[in-house]
Chain A
Amino acid sequence: MKFNKDAAALERRREKLRRVMLGSAEKRGLLGSSVVYLLLIVISFIFLYPVLYMISRSLMSRNDLLDSSAMWIPSSITLHNYESAILTMDYWMSLLKNLYLAAVPTLAQVFVCSMVGYGFARYNFPFKKAWMGILILAFLLPSQTTALPNYLVFQNLRMIDGTIKPFLITAVLGQGFKSTLCILIFYNFHRQVPQSLIEAAEIDGAGHLKAYFRIAIPLAGAAIVVVTLFSFVWYWNETYLVRNYLGYGATRATGLTTLMLELNAFEDSYANAYTTWASSVTSSDRINDAIRMAGTVLAIAPLMILYFVLQKQFVESVDKAGITGE
């Protein structure tokens, strides 16, 4: 009798354990959950590995770099590498220049692309399909074929002088960095706004322009946030076209620069800076991986900070831009 009761209790316990581990029809079991979490955590680690490596390396002293036992944790944290990298990149000045070079064209780009996207979404006009075709072609084809002729256009206008002019002109004419994608995002967004809303305003006596500024723009708030954030990131990160517009062999001494360009030229700048300081430093101050990594961290730090502050806006952008179609 007692044996039977025990067996029944055991059976019940086993059944409960099975349900918790493997789950039931309504709920996923512990086992399934832990597999999902394990996968997510492992992949997260793989994703963050280069960033973690970069940060840990940049804090290492020269001795730690050579010591294989200090693979991950520096034996003593040093900020010396950052000091060198800041001097090498002329960091604070370059940061200011980069902010200016990214923010001003971004504003122009957002304004113009919103207008063009609205024009395509709201109106019908002859050859609209042909223009849309060109728009999509411009999005798909790599910009290397057009980069050189564009450079020559600006050179003929004497505008390749290390200033913001080429960036601003292309942005105002809807040809900035990834402008085409921005136009497509706005096009998608404005198309989802009920046409009747705009038409109602126009019947009420609002002109076409007023309908755009008073109704379409306020409704497109989410798209404006998305395009502004991404345009800023694109302007910040682009190197090929930036080099083109600033001029071949442009340096920060002669005009604007970006942190990515400074990172590209890091070794040369360091060598130059090194000969300038040579009287005061010892030969052990030759460039090493820790200094390089400190420079890399510094170059991406502004965007990292922006991302951590506005991560919600970034991550929800895809939903809000309506790229996936409704």
Chain B
Amino acid sequence: MSKKAKKNPHDKRRLTRRTLREWGFGYLFILPWIVGVCIFFLYAMVQSLRFSFSRVELSNGVILHPLENGLFENFVKVFTTDVNFPTTLANFGVGLVLQLPVILAFSLIIALLLNSKIRCRSLFRMIFFLPVIIATGPVMSRLTAQGVSSVPMVSQNALLGILSDLPEFIYTPINNLFSSLIMILWNSGIQILIFLAGLQKVPRTLYEAAKIDGASGWESFWKITLPTVRPLILLNAIYTVVTLATGGANEIIELIYNATYTATQGYSYAMAMSWIYTLVVSVILVIVFLLFREKSDKHVRYEQKRSAVKAAAGR
């Protein structure tokens, strides 16, 4: 299009006007969001950063004072004076790393079961998706308090007895994992559906062809099924981390909320907490992305680099 425009200056002017109209309408459509994101995301981020690096005084509005004991005073305070936050954060991080593979493996297995030829598929789908609708923070904490969050038949004591020699920051998350296994599995409703949708797109003829060539079910799983759902594993992993980090029964969020309105802690303290939390979540997200991204990307990038080098050498 641009090549054509260069040939004919008259065309170019018309195209430019049209392009400008495109730009204008593009911005018109996203305008509400731009206003919103500037106020409620970008400005809010800057504000919370400023809070976390200063002392907040509340008197007829918010007044920020510079910190006396070093720039990172609030952050240091979070780790030195707070009893709960560091341990809760460590438990959250290790717990997330433990829960993620459990949720991913479980939802893939369920999706595979649902994808086989069975009756009442929609009934089962309905049951597995139900928690997405009802699993909220208050409901989950009620159920955990009642002790119905763990699988009743499984005796965990033997296993946990063996593990009790482990250091506490590893033992506690494992213990949590077992004692609230149902609540963790309740987080897999969307993931099951995403996997299932991906599995249903694999043509059946592919499996039949593999079978004729003598591939076992096991082999076709590794060679056909897994490569097809691979991009969905990344999607599900990120989705799982985001949902676990932002919603449900998350103790850290509660700690931050309470700190905000506690006289001895206050706004800047809570914001320092939330930035530490954001940092931890971001690091986990980056790790998850690097772990689950498609390896072929690396190959493509390598090829691109090589061709770029070749081109440069040729010139």
Contact = CB atoms under 8 A, between A and B. Distances in A.
Contacts of A319: 193, 197
A244 to B, nearest CB: 8
B29 A39 contact: no
A179 B21 CA distance: 27
Contacts of B117: 28
Contacts of B193: 315, 317-319
Interface in B249-308: 253, 256-257, 260-261, 267, 270-271, 274-275, 277-278, 281-282, 285
Nearest to A230: B132
Nearest to A43: B110
Contact of B253 (A144, A263, A300, A318): A144
Interface of B: 21-23, 25-30, 32-37, 39-45, 47-48, 51, 61-62, 110, 113-114, 116-118, 122, 124-134, 136-139, 142-143, 146, 148-149, 151-152, 182, 185-186, 190, 193-194, 196-198, 201, 211, 231-232, 235, 238, 242, 245-247, 253, 256-257, 260-261, 267, 270-271, 274-275, 277-278, 281-282, 285
B200 to A, nearest CB: 8
A92 interface: no
Most buried by A among B39, B131, B235: B39
Given A47-B186, A48-B127, A237-B136, A149 B26 contact: no
Interface string A52-67: 0110010000000000
Interface stretch (A74-82, A134-142, A277-285): A134-142
Interface string A280-307: 0000000001001100100110011011
Most buried by A among B130, B245, B277: B130
A174 B36 contact: yes
A243 to B, nearest CB: 7
Interface stretch (A6-14, A95-103, A122-130, A268-276): A122-130
Question: In terms of DSSP, what is the predominant structure of the interface of chain B?
Answer: helix
A146 B118 CA distance: 47
Contacts of B260: 148
Nearest to A244: B257
Most buried by A among B122, B131, B138, B151: B138
A92 B13 CA distance: 64
A307 B130 CA distance: 8
B13 to A, nearest CB: 19
A257 B273 CA distance: 28
A310 to B, nearest CB: 10
A253 interface: no
Given A44-B127, A47-B186, A260-B136, A145 B36 contact: no
B127 A47 contact: yes
Interface in A119-168: 119-120, 122-126, 128, 131, 134-135, 138-146, 148-150, 152-153, 156
A46 interface: yes
A152 B62 contact: yes
Bin chain A's interface residue count: 35 or more
Interface in A300-326: 300, 303-304, 306-307, 311-312, 314-315, 317-319, 323-325
B138 A128 contact: no
Given A36-B116, A120-B29, A299-B138, 5 more contacts: A134-B41, A135-B33, A145-B274, A146-B41, A324-B201
B60 to A, nearest CB: 11
B65 to A, nearest CB: 16
A175 interface: yes
Given A50-B149, A239-B137, A142 B29 contact: no
B184 to A, nearest CB: 11
B133 A314 contact: yes
